[in-house]
């Protein structure tokens, strides 16, 4: 297990992380963590930390791009003082670049890399551990424009994970494994916002990456 018992673990990101978490700070109970992968991950971690539970906090915010994270980083990351930090961002940054979704306020790859890198450089020295989760698109066609764009943003996250000594969670690979046997609607009907099953996929990918293999139920 990579995460030390008793550590404070903060999740931050966009709507996929948010999932109705408690305001202003999502902590204190599974319900406070929202209905998504953060709560699912907390439930998976709980049996492994019975004596000294991991303190999990959810600070996801619907609609965020990496520039939005930067604006609230001081309060929502440094203000919480985590020992471990998990970040999943890039979905909104990517989809705003494609087709009719493209908007003037979109975050280009260069801005994404620069902003994300600066946040991590400021924060990594104060952390025991860092987890970076790639953005994903629930689409098996690798020639799809949105899938291709999301892959470009995911490459940035993979590069940053290596540069900042972070645990990498390849969420696209996790989704692809499920899509090999299930229709995308079972995972994310709009190809982005997960169903309960989709959130479980993300939660299992996270726990495996941090060295936890949940016990199979009998």
CATH number of the domain within which 44 lies: 3.40.50.1110
Task: Note if 190 is an active site residue.
Answer: yes
Q: What is the pLDDT at residue 215?
A: 64
Whether residue 218 is contained in a domain is answered as no
CA angle 109/112/118 to nearest 5° reads 140
Which residue reads 């726990």 in tokens? Answer: 207
Catalytic choice (7, 14, 15, 106): 15
Task: Note if 68 is an active site residue.
Answer: no
**Percent of the chain scoring above 70 in pLDDT:** 95
Average pLDDT over the chain, rounded to whole?
94
Q: What is the pLDDT at residue 218?
A: 38
Pairing of strands 167-169, 129-133: parallel
The H-assigned helical ranges of the chain are: 15-18, 37-45, 66-73, 91-95, 109-123, 145-163, 171-179, 196-209
Whether residue 217 is contained in a domain is answered as no
User: What is the model's pTM?
Assistant: 0.95
Whether residue 194 is contained in a domain is answered as yes
Catalytic choice (68, 193, 199, 204): 193
Q: Which domain holds residue 17?
A: 8-209
Task: Note if 193 is an active site residue.
Answer: yes
**Percent of the chain scoring above 90 in pLDDT:** 90
pLDDT in tens, 19-72: 999 999 999 999 999 999 999 999 999 999 999 999 999 999 999 999 999 999
Total structural domains within the chain: 1
Gyration radius of the chain's alpha carbons = 16
């Amino acid at each position: 297990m990579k995460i030390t018992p008793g550590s404070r673990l903060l999740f931050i990101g966009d709507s996929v992380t948010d999932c109705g978490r408690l305001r202003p700070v999502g902590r204190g109970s599974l319900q406070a963590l929202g209905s998504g992968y953060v709560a699912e991950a907390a439930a998976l971690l709980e049996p492994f930390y019975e004596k000294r539970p991991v303190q999990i906090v959810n600070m996801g915010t619907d609609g965020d791009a990496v520039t939005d994270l930067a604006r609230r980083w001081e309060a929502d990351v440094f203000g919480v003082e985590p020992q471990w930090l998990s970040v999943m961002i890039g979905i909104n940054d990517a989809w705003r670049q494609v087709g009719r979704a493209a908007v003037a306020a979109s975050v280009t790859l260069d801005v994404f890399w620069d902003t994300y890198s600066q946040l991590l450089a400021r924060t990594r020295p104060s952390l025991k551990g860092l987890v970076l989760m790639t953005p994903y698109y629930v689409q098996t066609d690798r020639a799809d424009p949105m899938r291709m764009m999301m892959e470009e943003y995911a490459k940035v996250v993979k590069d940053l994970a290596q540069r900042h000594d972070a645990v990498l969670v390849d969420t696209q690979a996790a989704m692809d494994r499920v899509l090999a046997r299930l229709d995308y609607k079972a995972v994310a009907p709009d190809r982005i916002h997960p169903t309960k099953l989709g959130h479980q996929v993300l939660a299992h990918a996270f726990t495996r990456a941090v060295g936890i293999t949940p016990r199979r139920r009998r």
